[in-house]
Amino acid sequence: MMKIEVATRTPVGDKSLKCQSIPIKIAAMKVDVYYGAKQALKAINLHVENYRVMALIGPSGCGKSTFLRCLNRMNDTIDICRVDGRIELDGVDIYAKSIDTVQLRARVGMVFQKPNPFPKSIYDNIAYGPRIHGLAQRGPEMDEIVQSSLERAGLWNEVKDRLNEPGTGLSGGQQQRLCIARAIAVSPEVILMDEPCSALDPIATAHIEELIDELRENFTIVIVTHNMQQAARVSQKTAFFHLGEMVECNDTEEIFTNPVDERTQGYITGRYG
Amino acid sequence: MPTTLILVTIAALTVVGYFLGRGRAVEVAEGRLARLHSVPSYHGAFVALWAGLPALVLLAVWILAEGPAVMALVLARLPEALVAVDEQTLSLLRSDILNLAHGVSNGRAPDPLISDAADFYNQLHGLAEGCLVVLGAVAGLIGLKHARSRITRDLRARNLVERALNIALVLCSLVAILTTVGIVLSLLFEAIQFFSMIPITDFLFGLHWNPQAAFSGDAAGSFGAVPLFTGTLLITVIAMVVAVPVGLLAAVYMSEYAGPTMRSVAKPVLEILAGIPTVVYGFFAALTMAPVIRDLGMAAGLDVSSQSALAAGLVMGIMIIPFVSSLSDDVINAVPQALRDGSYGLGATKSETIREIVLPAALPGIVGAVMLAISRAIGETMIVAMAAGLSANLTANPFAAVTTVTVQIASTIRGDQEFNSPKTLSVFGLGLVLFVVTLILNVVALRVVQKYREKYD
Ligand SMILES: Nc1ncnc2c1ncn2[C@@H]1O[C@H](COP(=O)(O)OP(=O)(O)O)[C@@H](O)[C@H]1O
Ligand SMILES: [Mg+2]
């Protein structure tokens, strides 16, 4: 049986908070997703709490990425994809007609599985988002945003002398932190991460995990991961997906020590994956 | 006819050889094919090659050598007086004999000696062909038998066959390469000959182009190619002004906006545009576009000649649109989806993503596409010949008639030429310039495109 360490860095206040009502940032209600005729998600109900890290785990193809992409409507870019049900951000339906995906995605940022820096300079990679959203013009104001974003992504010291070099020239781990910095730069409220460490080596992974833990102070984070130790290390809540269904969602500690559903138990003990 | 016969014989021998070789290999294997070094079909191919190749080589040598050999025999029988003449008369004599032998009459009653010789030629020729059929068959059979006898379990038939194939492939590519080299060399030598008559500086920097004047003794002053270069440049620029924006935007639409149905209609339509012969574009430019432009120009109070650089350039631009759009479409599609996702994920709109991420990422490839399009425009002849005229005006006015390098080459070569006049040789000078310019453009373009490929693979 696999040994799993449960998050040790959970803030002290957490246990007591559990009884109180923690504000819900994202609420998914009876969400069905279809790719053409094929149903990828079935009646998903899930709440993501504010300033927490929610981990989505489950075997490949169970719909974790699909669900994540529903949360900032990235699925809109896939022609054959259809989303039914209701997803609320701060109580407002994000699939309502009045919602502009541009503004939605500024509030709900995304980091992808494979680092995808733009073929621009490091500086321009960060400045791109603030510029298109009109947060700042070129100049000291933008420099400030770039610097603080890079600092919060823990990359500033490594790149401060080469901001004009292409972002594609960084190492894989640095590229991924650049992508995180890029997402932070538009001051989102939620950051979605789809297996952000799966293309990285263990040291870069540890770096990112630390970063996620720090980011929790200011952002709500939903992270998809294949690595259960990682889920245990960085998240406070974990949801287990299986064959397009959300089987179980609970405190991370509970899920890993005391799973209710036997499918969850099977997965976390490595019976299938 | 006998050549056909021998070819059929050789083909038959190869087929038979294949099956014999394969059968023999199976036989040698004594029931366990794994004991063979190569699979039996390689033994078959090995024998087939031996049955076919030597016979074919024999055929080739024979065909090359037979004519002169037979002719030598025929000439040897003619009286000394007829044969002991200078080379030119001798070659006339030869062609007389050949003509008579092939039954081509020149109208006059043939000299009996010549007609005898022709008969003798035919007789020998027939004999030789007969021999060839027999020899070819024998060569094939000997080759087949030899190869079959060499088949053992250890025969490395696969390696031998692969080597033969390898050689065949090398020969084919050599043909392509040697042809190119030959063309370039001939271009170079003739151009050098031209430049020995007309100084290269006069040619490259002279402002006056009038090759006809060479006949009136004023040779040196009339080969200034600058008006041709500027004419080419003017038309190319006009064509690019049309083709690049339209082609590029069409490519952006196709790859980023168009739905699958639209794409399935629009792409083939664009490809049809690329498939229209340039003559058709040419007379469209000359008969439809040029008058329209002239009328519009007149209405606007401009002096527009009935043949204008504008008409030719516009139509050439239309012709090049599909070229630009399909190349750009390819490079735009090669931009990884992950980059678009990254941009959308930050809340960028579609047009922002295209402008700020996709196009910059595709830029090197697009530059390459444009350069290839330019070299295409520079080399285009038909449209300009029909729509822009032949008068070598040194002007930047798009409403004037101009001419281009290619059009001058085409119009000079048309009709009978005395080969050594500077007028005719000037085409080699022009051709060389054209070749060098397009070569440079193509090399640079391919470099740029390649560099871009490396970045994402
Ligand atoms: N763009 C797409 N088009 C069609 N089917 C898709 C697409 N993306 C995902 N799917 C399907 O949806 C299901 C869930 O995929 P995904 O959400 O990527 O799973 P996970 O991230 O959990 O591995 C899979 O069966 C997959 O084949
Ligand atoms: Mg996934």
Q: What is the per-residue pLDDT across A93-129, written as a single tens digit (0 to 9) for each?
A: 999 999 999 999 999 999 999 999 999 999 999 999 9
Question: Which superfamily does CATH assign the domain made up of B226-452 to?
Answer: MetI-like (1.10.3720.10)
pLDDT at B38: 87
- Considering only CA atoms, which of B317, B314, B305, B320 is closest in space to residue B397? B305
pLDDT tier at A34, thresholds 50, 70, 90: very high
Q: Which residues surround ligand 2, an ion (CB under 5 A)?
A: A 65
Ligand nearest to the CA of A66: 1
Which of B260, B336, B345 faces A105 most closely, judged by CB atoms? Answer: B345
- Considering only CA atoms, which of B51, B47, B30, B55 is closest in space to residue B150? B47
Here the ipTM equals 0.87
CB B287 within 8 A of CB B252: no
pLDDT at B4: 84
The reply to whether ligand 1 has any atom less than 6 angstroms from the CB of A61 is yes
- Residue labelled with tokens 């038309």: B235
Pairing of strands A245-251, A237-242: antiparallel
Distance (Å, whole) CA B147 – CA A30: 77
Mean pLDDT score, A130-156: 92
Cα A111 to middle of ligand 2, angstroms: 12
From the number of C-beta atoms within 10 Å of its C-beta (0-12, 13-18, 19+), residue B348 rates as buried
Q: Note the pLDDT tens digit of each residue in A232-267.
A: 999 999 999 999 999 999 999 999 999 999 999 999
Q: What Å distances lie between residue A162 and A155, A158, A272, CA to CA?
A: 12, 9, 45
Domains defined for chain A, CATH in brackets: 52-77+104-268 (3.40.50.300)
Distance (Å, whole) CA A239 – CA A231: 10
- Residue labelled with tokens 């989102």: A188
CB contacts of A133 in chain B (<8 Å) are 347
Cα A61 to middle of ligand 1, angstroms: 6
The reply to whether ligand 1 has any atom less than 6 angstroms from the CB of A41 is no
Query: Which residue on chain B is closest to A168 by alpha carbon?
Result: B455
Closest CA–CA distance from residue B358 to any residue of chain A (Å): 9
Helices (H), B206-336: 226-252, 260-275, 278-284, 290-299, 309-334
Q: Does B291 touch chain A (CB under 8 A)?
A: no
Nearest protein Cα to ligand 1, atom 27? A61
Q: Is the CB of B343 less than 8 angstroms away from the CB of A128?
A: yes
Q: Note the pLDDT tens digit of each residue in B295-312.
A: 888 888 887 777 888 989
Residue B370: both structure tokens together: 């444009």
Is residue B155 within a helix (H) or strand (E), and if so which, with residue range?
Answer: none
Which of A102, A117, A186 faces B349 most closely, judged by CB atoms? Answer: A102
Cα A190 to middle of ligand 2, angstroms: 19
What residues does CATH 1.10.3720.10 cover in chain B? 226-452
The sign of the CA dihedral B175, B177, B182, B184 is: positive
pLDDT, averaged per 10 consecutive residues of chain B (457 residues), comes to 81 93 89 86 92 90 86 82 78 82 74 82 86 87 91 88 94 94 93 88 86 60 85 93 94 90 88 88 89 88 82 92 91 92 94 93 88 89 85 84 88 74 86 92 83 61
pLDDT at A16: 39
From the number of C-beta atoms within 10 Å of its C-beta (0-12, 13-18, 19+), residue A267 rates as buried
Residue B69 corresponds to which amino acid?
Answer: A
Ligand nearest to the CA of A58: 1
Closest CA–CA distance from residue B444 to any residue of chain A (Å): 22
pLDDT tier at A18, thresholds 50, 70, 90: very low
pLDDT tier at A17, thresholds 50, 70, 90: very low
Phi and psi based region of residue B301 (left: phi greater than 0; alpha: psi -120 to 50; beta: remaining): left
Averaged pLDDT score across all residues of chain A: 89
Mutate to test the pocket of ligand 1, among A62, A71, A77, A226 (most ligand atoms within 8 A of CB): A62
Distance (Å, whole) CA B97 – CA B95: 5
Q: Note the pLDDT tens digit of each residue in B306-359.
A: 788 898 999 999 999 999 998 899 889 989 999 999 999 999 999 999 999 999
Query: Over 50: is that where the pLDDT of A10 sits?
Result: no
Q: Does B361 touch chain A (CB under 8 A)?
A: yes
pLDDT at A215: 92
Q: Does B245 touch chain A (CB under 8 A)?
A: no
- Residue labelled with tokens 């048309």: B414
Query: Which residue on chain B is closest to A192 by alpha carbon?
Result: B345
Say how far residue B416 (Cα) sits from the centre of its chain.
24
Nearest protein Cα to ligand 1, atom 9? A66
pLDDT at B18: 94
Q: Is the CB of A183 less than 8 angstroms away from the CB of B345?
A: yes
Atom of ligand 1 nearest to the CA of A195: 21
pLDDT at B454: 60
The sign of the CA dihedral B209, B210, B211, B214 is: negative
The reply to whether ligand 1 has any atom less than 6 angstroms from the CB of A35 is yes
- Give the predicted TM-score (pTM) of the model: 0.74
pLDDT at A15: 40
pLDDT at B91: 82
Distance (Å, whole) CA B360 – CA A148: 26
DSSP B282: H
Q: Is the CB of A132 less than 8 angstroms away from the CB of B361?
A: no
Q: Note the pLDDT tens digit of each residue in A191-233.
A: 999 999 988 889 889 989 999 999 999 999 999 998 889 999 9
**Cα angle B32, B35, B40; round to 5:** 80
Which residues make Cβ contacts (< 8 Å) with residue B399, sequence separation at least 6? B293, B297, B302, B303, B304, B305, B308, B309, B310
